[in-house]
């Protein structure tokens, strides 16, 4: 009997992670049957700076995941992050073409396409299209406009985009490792699938993924992504600050930060000041972004922290986030999943596991995405065919 498996690949600036999720019966649900990780090489702030090194890191993580999962990996979903990832909001309108004025699926598709064309994106690829709302003849549409009648249809859409070069480099690395790319998903969206509940997304919240060199945030309201941003700061900066502040080697600073070495030999007050200062920088960036959106202190579900940098051993990051942002705050693990040893997964695995969940839904439809994965797959197949002419 064949196993129902899904694979997610998360190539981060510090660590490359591969997760294999198996779908069992209704009682057992999902379980992570294989996971492998390796130190990322050839990646800087999410950008590929050395394809060969990045490919070797991925191959190492793949081997470990395949060995633990006792299965061969042939295809996977891949996360994209880094500084080139962002969201852009646009608006557009069209006149309804049918004589009777009835709105069809084609009209909705057309108005979104017109909106995308109006942005005149250069050197960027659209990963996700998320309609925030429609208006028909100047009045807000509650729900879907299809089937309604009118003259003028307007739409407001969030487009999640990434640099074409970044996207093509990422796909080429995975292809060079012998894996077929089923789809590429923005890392914050993948993480949200296992870090947030529908109630949190509906009430309003911000998901902050603290990585090694970047912090990505995704803001949700009414069960829709309304904004996505990536900042050039991460937990590696905390390590560097500890090393400079305490005059100790980087390796020792990293162990103190993660709790693998006792901090009792160092002044606790000074250590808290060092870490707190850098975390305040991160939360200030998040606060400024929320102010631009008009959502500062107005997200009832608060801030949800995930990613490797959220698991600091020497400071209460939740309390600091509450004090800075004046919002409820909590650190979450990837929910409802256990690994083969029945242990709770660390927050750093949220992106990889979220990809696996998406992999079990070949026609995933929700307010997070506006198109089926099959449509996206056609795009990536065409892109791969074009890229192969440049392969060595």
Mean pLDDT of all residues belonging to the chain: 87
pLDDT at 370: 40
- State yes or no: pLDDT of 11 exceeds 60: yes
pLDDT at 385: 53
Percentage of residues in the chain having pLDDT higher than 70: 87
> Which CATH superfamily is 198-331 part of?
ATPase, nucleotide binding domain (3.30.420.40)
Q: Tell me if the domain spanning 5-83+164-193+337-388 has CATH number 3.30.420.40.
A: yes
pTM, two decimals, is 0.87
pLDDT at 47: 84
Fold matches, 5-83+164-193+337-388 and 86-162: no
Residue 37 confidence class, pLDDT cut points 50, 70, 90: very high
Which residues are CB-contacts of 27 (< 8 A; sequence separation ≥ 6)? Answer: none
pLDDT digits (tens, 9 = 90+) for 281-308: 999 999 999 999 999 999 999 999 998 8
Q: Give CA–CA dist 192/247, Å, rounded.
A: 38
- Spatial strand order of the sheet with 180-186 comes to 30-39, 15-23, 5-11, 75-80, 180-186
Residue bearing the bigger pLDDT, 25 or 65 = 65
Residue 29 confidence class, pLDDT cut points 50, 70, 90: low
pLDDT at 111: 96
Q: Kindly state the average pLDDT of the residues 254-280.
A: 88
Which residues are CB-contacts of 365 (< 8 A; sequence separation ≥ 6)? Answer: 372
Which residues are CB-contacts of 231 (< 8 A; sequence separation ≥ 6)? Answer: 214, 215, 216, 217, 282, 285
- State yes or no: pLDDT of 343 exceeds 60: no
**Cα-to-chain-centroid distance, residue 87:** 12
Residue 268 confidence class, pLDDT cut points 50, 70, 90: confident
Q: Give CA–CA dist 248/197, Å, rounded.
A: 41
Residue 309 confidence class, pLDDT cut points 50, 70, 90: confident
Per-domain boundaries in the chain: 5-83+164-193+337-388, 86-162, 198-331
Count CB atoms within 10 A of the CB of residue 112.
21
Tell which CATH architecture fits domain 86-162.
2-Layer Sandwich (3.30)
Q: Distances in Å between the alpha carbon of 277 and those of 12, 257, 283, 385? A: 24, 14, 10, 48
SS3 at position 234? coil
Q: Give CA–CA dist 206/324, Å, rounded.
A: 14
Instruction: Read off the tokens for 22.
Output: 């198996």
Q: Kindly state the average pLDDT of the residues 326-353.
A: 76
Residue at token pair 């600036």: 13
pLDDT at 133: 93
- State yes or no: pLDDT of 30 exceeds 60: yes
| Element spanning 111, H or E | helix 105-119
Instruction: Tell me if 332 sits within 8 A of 234, measured CB to CB.
Output: no
- State yes or no: pLDDT of 68 exceeds 60: yes
Q: Residue 127: name the closest of 381, 379, 363 by CA.
A: 379
pLDDT digits (tens, 9 = 90+) for 174-212: 999 999 999 999 999 999 988 999 999 999 999 999 998
pLDDT digits (tens, 9 = 90+) for 96-108: 989 999 999 999 9
Instruction: Read off the tokens for 324.
Output: 């800075």
pLDDT digits (tens, 9 = 90+) for 137-165: 999 998 889 999 999 999 999 999 999 99
pLDDT at 363: 40
């Amino acid at each position: 009997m064949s196993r129902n498996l899904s694979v997610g690949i998360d190539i981060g600036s510090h660590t490359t992670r591969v997760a294999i999720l198996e779908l069992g019966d209704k009682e057992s649900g999902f379980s992570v049957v294989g996971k492998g990780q390796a130190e990322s090489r050839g990646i800087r702030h999410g950008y590929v700076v050395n394809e060969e090194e990045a490919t070797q890191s991925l191959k190492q993580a793949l081997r470990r995941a395949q060995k633990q999962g006792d299965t061969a990996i042939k295809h996977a979903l891949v996360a994209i992050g880094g500084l080139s990832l962002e969201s852009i909001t646009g608006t557009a309108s069209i006149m309804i073409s049918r004589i009777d004025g009835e709105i069809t699926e084609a009209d909705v598709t057309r108005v979104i396409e017109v909106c995308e064309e109006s942005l005149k994106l250069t050197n960027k690829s659209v990963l996700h299209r998320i309609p925030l709302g429609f208006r028909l003849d100047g009045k807000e549409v509650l729900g879907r406009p299809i089937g309604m009648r009118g003259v003028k249809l307007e739409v407001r859409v969030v487009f999640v985009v990434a640099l074409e070069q970044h996207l093509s480099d990422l796909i080429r690395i995975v292809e060079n490792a012998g894996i077929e790319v089923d789809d590429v998903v923005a890392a914050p969206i993948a993480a949200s699938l296992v870090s947030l509940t529908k109630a949190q997304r509906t009430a309003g919240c911000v998901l902050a993924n603290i990585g090694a060199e970047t912090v990505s945030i995704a803001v949700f309201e009414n069960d829709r992504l309304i904004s996505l941003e990536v900042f050039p700061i991460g937990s590696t900066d905390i390590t560097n600050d500890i090393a400079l502040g305490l005059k100790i080697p980087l390796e020792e600073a990293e162990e103190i930060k993660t709790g693998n070495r006792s901090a009792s030999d160092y002044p606790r007050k000074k250590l808290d000041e060092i870490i707190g200062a850098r975390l305040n920088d991160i939360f200030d960036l998040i606060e400024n972004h929320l102010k631009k959106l008009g959502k500062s202190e107005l997200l009832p579900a608060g801030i949800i922290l995930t990613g490797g940098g959220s698991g600091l051993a020497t400071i209460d990051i939740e309390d600091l986030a509450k004090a800075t942002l004046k919002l409820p705050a909590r650190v979450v693990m990837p929910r409802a999943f256990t690994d083969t040893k029945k242990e709770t997964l660390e927050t750093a695995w949220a992106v990889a596991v979220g990809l696996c969940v998406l992999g079990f839904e070949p026609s995933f439809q929700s307010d997070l995405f506006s198109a089926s994965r099959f449509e996206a797959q056609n795009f990536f197949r065409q892109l791969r065919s074009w890229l192969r002419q440049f392969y060595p």
